A and B are shown apart, each in its own frame.
Chain A
Amino acid sequence: MQWLLPVIVFAPAIAGVALLLFPQRPAKLIAAGATLAVFLLSLWLYFGLLNGSATTFGDVLHPQWAVDEPWINIALGTFHFRVDYALGADGLSMPMIVLNALLTFLAVVGSWHIDRRIKFYLALILILETGVMGVFAAFDLFLFILFWEVELIPMFLLIGIWGGARREYAAWKFLIYTLVGSSFTLAGIFLIYVQTGGQSATYQHYASVASQLTGSLPLFGGSVSLPLVLFLLLFAGFAVKIPMWPVHTWLPDAHTEAPTAVSVLLAGVLLKMGAYGLIRICLGFVPQGVQEIAPLLGIVAAINVLWGAGASMVQHDMKKMIAYASVSHMGYVLLGVAGAAASVGGASLLDFRQAALTGATLQMFTHGAITGMLFFCVGVLYDKAHTREIDIFGGIATRMPREITLYSIACFASLGLPALAGFVAEYLVFTGTYALLPAQTVFAVFGVVLTAGYLLWMLRRSFFGPLNLKWRGLTDATLREAFPLAALAVVILFVGIYPQPLVDLITPAMQQTLHTVVQALAVH
């Protein structure tokens, strides 16, 4: 079954190029068919892996159904350059692969009404899907950075061509922020490759030498800790993507200006690339570097949570509000990772580390589903009303019962209502980090209150109360429009009520990562 993962990764791009050769209508069907097929294949992979090994996908050292062929392998003098075509999936990447497949399929369905240059649009979305899949599936660091940059230009063009009024500014800002960040990540990859022997760049290699990666580097006459430098370089690109305060400012612009389906993908999966890099590469391969900076990372995480929530509070545009909410919610991921790596307590707090890290990983999945759904909701509303101004609406729940019910579910999930997906992840993160980084956690918890504040306030102002007569002609979402919303609502409810399957799969992968973290603590 080794062919399955490569097909999932490359099929979208192939379909994306192929559909350009067809007329508009069949092209749409090809896009929908291909993304649906990839989603089904990803489910097959998910359950196939599950059945194959009884309970787990394995971890980074033991990926199932993985592919690993030498791609570039050259030795010359003392220099060795080796890149493996290595694809694999474990408990960390598999949920992301399924999420990406699902959201891309829904994005194609949600873009059905677009007529302007639709073939080009769909082709870019499908190439984007391949890039993101590759990031999650790559098991070699050079392959990872290759896929990491594939996503850039399609997203740049998607915002630039189909975006809102300030699309030019937003697209360029996105491009420049991401590029500058990823330049440093590439420098970090060079450094870790050379420092760990320069023989191989596979994840297995880095994971197995991670705890021995110590020492210092000469710098301007003094010396700095090698793991810390590695962490800072590698993290630079991820921090922009996550996005971490203070390099988050591209996000509100990009998310607000992008067309609905693209906002969904941006918030749903592209931000997760950063979080994935943080957990897989920073925490997994340079745990000591994360440890050295964990308290500070925790503080920045708390700032992320509160800053994002505070900014959401004062927005007048629904989409911008949700964009800032993303900044806030990705702060929980940062907090969870910082907690898991904190040097407090050593190995004795392993259960708390486990909870924090599992929570952070789960938050990646649930935030993707919830924010994706929120953006779809705003999109449907915008298509009907041609505005996203929060104060302009009023009482429209009576006119759009279907849309507003689903919108409310998404809002409740986002504010962490128990029995919906958001709660599980946030609860795990806070439970874990309170023991490890108490001060930071205490501040960050207020984010939950603020989130409830701005979401409920928006619900009251826009949807409930007396109907603003200007909107009496508003029609409800059609079944096609409501389909992506309903699909995501099902996912959110399921994970909220019964998160066990997902948690069970994430845990073993995280156990391995934490094993390295604790080992590194011991070495320290």
Chain B
Amino acid sequence: MTSHIDGIQIWMLAPELSVVLLGFLVLGLDLITHNRRVVAATALIGLLIPLGFTLSLVVKQDALTPDHTAFFHMLVVDGYALFFQFLFLVIGFGVLLVSYGYVEKFLRVTIGEYYSIILLSLAGMMLMASTGELISVYISLELTSIPLYILAGLSRSDTRSAEAAVKYVLLGAMSSAILLYGMALLYGATGTTDLTEIARNTQAALSSGNLVLLAADVFIFTGFGFKISAVPFHMWAPDIYEGAPTPSTLFFSVGSKAAGFAALLRVFIFGGLAAISGGTYLWVMVAIVAAVTMTLGNVVALLQTNIKRMMAYSSIGQAGYLLVGFAAIMISNSPAGNLGILAFLAVYVVTNIGAFTGIIGLADATGKENIRDFDGLGRRAPFIAAGMGLCLLSLAGIPPMAGFWGKLFILLTAWNQGSALTWLVVLGLINSAISIVYYANVVWRMFVAEPEKRDRLAMSGSVTLTMAVAVVGILALTIAFGFLLTGLGGGAGGLFPTATTP
């Protein structure tokens, strides 16, 4: 560890740093010009800079500090962190692009304001995956969350939006408190906030019968459980998804969820908490939460009439599948489970962006967001409907879309853990069959049901472009799923503390 800050360390922070600067630049640009296109183009093209920094870090991994940490272990730039940085930048591109038309039409904020809030939150998300220390995990979590509260309340004339923002702030604050309490206990038990040190100390602490550590595990899992909307900490999701402006909802459903998992895995695996759970039956708790999360999410989604509420429960269900992979990690510290989560998240992000693009497209053109309003969209906007249909079917795990591989792989990694998780995998498969009913219902409405109006809907260029990229993305991911797994294998395996990797 170097004791002073040098150029290499700044370079390792450059992706996050440049995203923050870009956020300020876009905000400032709003004062100078009223041309929305200029602002939007600056933001989108500007995102190439952090992307370039991230890629340079990927390529030049040997040139980094020997243990890939900087700023006294607060920043960890390993394969895992770089994957998430890349994923969040993809999310950034998607959300900025697709919200262009919506912001002008429905929100009384300038495009620069909206984009800068998203970019600041994005920087927080990127940091959540790259911190190696509890305090900075917490700070980056707050940097992520506070802009999200603002995003929820941006439809100023809509009371549902205000309600969503208030709920989000209150529940977010509560979950942060629980998380902090867990972290405090962890600090008390191990005497450090450095995750690498914690990983080293936990084994000794537990063998001396330290139950404080178990309580810390449970509290930290609960705190992140809110962020990833795991049952029973999911209550906020449907209301806030419904009330928030749709592009914000998209950002919650992909960004916030991926960031929650990024930090959860970072603390549990890198911090060595997962390694101690096999002998403590903590995995039973995770498995039960996974089972309840996917079942409740998928069953309740069947009953929804509002598409955003349906997508909220769908994203709860998807979190359940991800937690199946997490249970596999908890039970045997399995790198394969971690790989399953990363691959599933990559596919989920692209797919959900596509699905929400369809919802935003319809909202742009008609201002409606009930499932019933999708009647006949297949004829009113064939391309958007087809793309959205493919994305929904991918979420349901229907091939040839990549969601099929994502789900198959994550369930197989759990199955491979021996008979302890077999029931969970079978439940996952049954859930997958249930989930297709509500996804296919939207497809049915778009392509089979007769619309009230038959006029063609004009879709904005930004919506069409986002959809095209998402559809190409999920089909390409199907073919390239092998490359995805191979590419992520190192990052997924490298997260485990070397001493305990089997």
- Give bound CA distance, A153 to B408, whole Å: 19
Which residues 296-355 of B sit at the A interface, judged by CB distance below 8 A?
A: 334-336, 339
CB within 8 A of A72: which of B425, B436, B443, B482? Answer: B482
In the bound complex, residues from chain B placing their C-beta under 8 Å from that of A142 are: 408
**Does A149 belong to the interface (CB within 8 Å)?**
yes
Contact of B399 among A74, A76, A150, A190 (CB under 8 A): A150
Cα(A217)–Cα(B489), bound, Å: 31
Q: Which of B378, B399, B412 contacts A147 (CB 8 A)?
A: B399
Specify which of A77, A146, A175 lies most central, judged by the most chain B CB atoms within 10 Å of its CB: A77
Across-interface contacts of B425 in A (CB, < 8 A):
187, 190
Q: A198–B433 contact, CB under 8 A?
A: no
Contact call A198/B398, Cβ cutoff below 8 A: no
Which of B405, B429, B444 meets A187, CB within 8 Å? B429
B429 and A74 within 8 A (CB)? no
How far, in angstroms, from A491 to B349 measured CA to CA in the complex? Answer: 50
Any chain B CB within 8 A of the CB of A502?
Answer: no
Whether the Cβ atoms of A71 and B482 lie closer than 8 Å is yes
Question: Which of the 9-residue segments B186-194, B259-267, B413-421 touches chain A?
Answer: B413-421
A72, A157, A179: the one contacting B481 at CB < 8 Å is: A72
A71 to B408, CA, bound (A): 15
A203–B400 Cα distance when bound, in Å, is 21
Alpha-carbon distance between A156 and B448 when the two chains are bound, in angstroms: 10
Asked if B486 and A153 make an inter-chain contact with CB atoms under 8 angstroms apart, the answer reads no
Which residues of chain B have C-beta atoms less than 8 A from A71's C-beta?
A: 481-482
Please give the distance in Å from A195's CB to the nearest CB on chain B.
11
From A77, A160, A190, give the contact of B411 (CB < 8 A): A190
Interface pair A146/B399, CB less than 8 Å apart? yes
Residues of A contacting B: mostly: helix
In the complex, which residues of chain B have a beta carbon less than 8 angstroms from the beta carbon of A74?
A: 339, 482, 485-486, 489
B377 at interface by CB-CB < 8 Å: no
B482 CB → nearest A CB, Å: 4
B434 to chain A, nearest CB (A): 9
The CA-CA distance from A171 to B449 in the complex, in Å, is 13
State whether the Cβ of A221 lies closer than 8 Å to any Cβ in chain B. no
- The interface size of chain A toward B, counting residues with CB under 8 Å, comes to 41
Interface pair B492/A76, CB less than 8 Å apart: yes
Are the C-beta atoms of A77 and B400 separated by less than 8 Å? no
- Contact across chains for B404 and A146 when beta carbons are under 8 A apart: yes
Q: Does B40 contact A (CB under 8 A)?
A: no
Stretch at the interface among A78-86, A460-468, A480-488: A78-86
Contacting pair B399 A149 (CB below 8 A)? yes
**How many Cβ-Cβ contacts under 8 Å join chain A to chain B?**
103
By secondary structure, the B interface counts as helix
Q: Does residue A350 face the partner (Cβ distance < 8 Å to B)?
A: no
Given A77-B502, A180-B433, A183-B430, A194:B409 Cβ within 8 A: no
User: What residues on B are CB-neighbors of A184 within 8 Å?
Assistant: 429
For residue A124, which residue of chain B has the nearest CB? Answer: B447
Query: In the bound complex, do residue B436 and residue A175 qualify as a contact, i.e. CB atoms below 8 Å apart?
Result: yes
A247 within 8 A of B: no
Asked if A176 is at the interface of the complex by the 8 Å CB criterion, the answer is yes
Given known A74-B485, A149-B398, A157-B447, contact A79–B336 (CB-CB < 8 A): yes
Return the CB mask of B473-484 against A: 1 if under 8 Å, else 0: 000000001100
B54 within 8 A of A: no
Kindly list chain B residues whose C-beta atoms are within 8 Å of the C-beta of A160. Answer: 444, 447-448
Does B126 sit at the interface, judged by CB under 8 A?
no
Check B432–A183 contact: CB distance below 8 A: yes
- Give a binary string over A143-177; 1 marks a CB under 8 Å from any B CB, 0 the rest: 00011011011001100110000001001000110
- In the bound complex, do residue B493 and residue A76 qualify as a contact, i.e. CB atoms below 8 Å apart? yes
A161, B334: Cβ atoms closer than 8 Å: no
Contact for A81 among B409, B429, B436, CB less than 8 A? B409
Tell me which of A161, A176, A194 contacts B448 (CB under 8 A): A161
Contacts of B416 on A, CB cut-off 8 Å? Answer: 78-79, 194, 198
CB of B432 within 8 A of CB of A157, answer no
Bound-state CA distance A18–B91 (Å) is 30
Complex: chain B residue closest to A219, CB-CB = B419
**A405 interfacial by beta-carbon distance below 8 Å:** no
Tell me if A378 counts as interface (CB < 8 A to partner B). Answer: no
Q: How distant is A44 from chain B, measured CB to nearest CB, in Å?
A: 26
The reply on A222 being an interface residue by CB < 8 A is no
Q: In the complex the two chains form, is A72's CB within 8 Å of B334's CB?
A: no
Question: In A50-97, which residues have CB < 8 Å from any B CB?
Answer: 70-74, 76-79, 81, 83
Q: Tell me whether A183 and B492 are in contact in the complex, defined as CB-CB below 8 angstroms, given that A81-B485, A190-B415 are known contacts.
A: no
Interface contact B334-A77, CB-CB below 8 Å: yes
The reply to whether the CB of B211 lies closer than 8 angstroms to some CB of chain A is no
Given contacts A150-B400, A153-B398, A194-B416, contact A77 B335 (CB under 8 A): yes
20 contacts across the A-B interface (CB closer than 8 A): A71-B481, A72-B482, A74-B339, A74-B486, A76-B492, A77-B493, A79-B336, A81-B336, A146-B400, A149-B399, A152-B398, A153-B398, A160-B447, A168-B448, A175-B437, A179-B433, A183-B432, A184-B429, A186-B429, A187-B429
| Interface residues of B, Cβ cutoff 8 Å to A | 334-336, 339, 378, 393, 398-400, 404-405, 408-409, 411-413, 415-416, 419, 425-426, 429-430, 432-433, 436-437, 440, 443-444, 447-448, 481-482, 485-486, 489, 492-493, 501-502
User: Interface residues, chain A, CB within 8 Å of chain B?
Assistant: 70-74, 76-79, 81, 83, 120, 142, 146-147, 149-150, 152-153, 156-157, 160-161, 168, 171, 175-176, 179-180, 182-184, 186-187, 190-191, 193-194, 198, 217-218
